[in-house]
Amino acid sequence: MASLDSKTPQGALADKWTNYKNNIRLVNPANKRKIDVIIVGTGLAGGSAAATLAELGYNVKAFCYQDSPRRAHSIAAQGGINAAKNYQGDGDSVYRLFYDTIKGGDYRSREANVYRLAEVSANIIDQCVAQGVPFARDYGGLLDNRSFGGVLVSRTFYAKGQTGQQLLLGAYSAMNRQIAKGKITMYNRHEMLDVVLVDGKARGIIARNLITGEIERHSAHAVVIASGGYGNVFFLSTNAMGSNATAAWKIHKRGAYFANPCYTQIHPTCIPVHGDQQSKLTLMSESLRNDGRIWVPKKLEDAKAVREGKLKPTDIAEEDRDYYLERRYPSFGNLVPRDVASRAAKERCDAGFGIINNSTNEGVFLDFSSAIERYGKEQAHIQGVHNPSREKILQLGEEVVASKYGNLFDMYQQITDDNPYKTPMKIYPAVHYTMGGIWVDYNLMTTVPGLYAIGEANFSDHGANRLGASALMQGLADGYFVLPYTIGDYLADDIRTGPIPTNTPEFDAAEKHVTDRISQLINNNGKHSVDYFHKKLGHIMWNKVGMARNAQGLSEAIHEIAELREQFWKEVRVPGVPNEFNQELEKAGRVADFLELGELFARDALERNESCGGHFREEYRTEEGEARRDDEHFTYVAAWEYTGKPSEAILHKEDLKFDNVELKTRSYK
- If we measure between CA atoms, which residue out of 358, 361, 355 comes closest to residue 295? 355
177 is known as an active-site residue: no
Give the separation between CA 328 and CA 454, rounded to whole angstroms. Answer: 37
Say how many Å lie between the first and final Cα of the chain, rounded.
39
How is residue 505 annotated by DSSP? H
SS3 223: strand
Cross-sheet strand order for the sheet of 258-259:
437-438, 258-259, 636-641, 650-655
Give the separation between CA 383 and CA 122, rounded to whole angstroms. Answer: 35
Instruction: Using alpha carbons only, give the angle 511, 514, 517 rounded to the nearest 5 degrees.
Output: 145
- If we measure between CA atoms, which residue out of 24, 35, 23 comes closest to residue 494? 35
Tell me phi and psi for residue 209, to 5 degrees. Answer: -70, 115
Give the separation between CA 73 and CA 543, rounded to whole angstroms. Answer: 26
DSSP assignment of 438-470 equals E---TTSB-SSTTEEE-GGGB-SS-TTSPPTT-
Identified catalytic residue from 338, 348, 466, 608: 338
Give the separation between CA 322 and CA 661, rounded to whole angstroms. Answer: 35
What CA–CA distances, in Å, run from 542 to 264, 297, 557, 602, 616? 11, 26, 10, 11, 13
Instruction: Answer yes or no: are the C-beta atoms of 232 and 280 closer than 8 Å.
Output: no
How many CB atoms are closer than 10 A to CB 71? 17
What CA–CA distances, in Å, run from 179 to 50, 185, 321? 10, 6, 56
Report the amino acid identity of residue 548: A
Give the separation between CA 29 and CA 31, rounded to whole angstroms. Answer: 5
Identify each DSSP E strand in 570-659 by its residue range: 636-641, 650-655
Give the separation between CA 191 and CA 249, rounded to whole angstroms. Answer: 13
- If we measure between CA atoms, which residue out of 287, 207, 290, 226 comes closest to residue 455? 226
Give the separation between CA 388 and CA 402, rounded to whole angstroms. Answer: 20
List the catalytic residues: 338
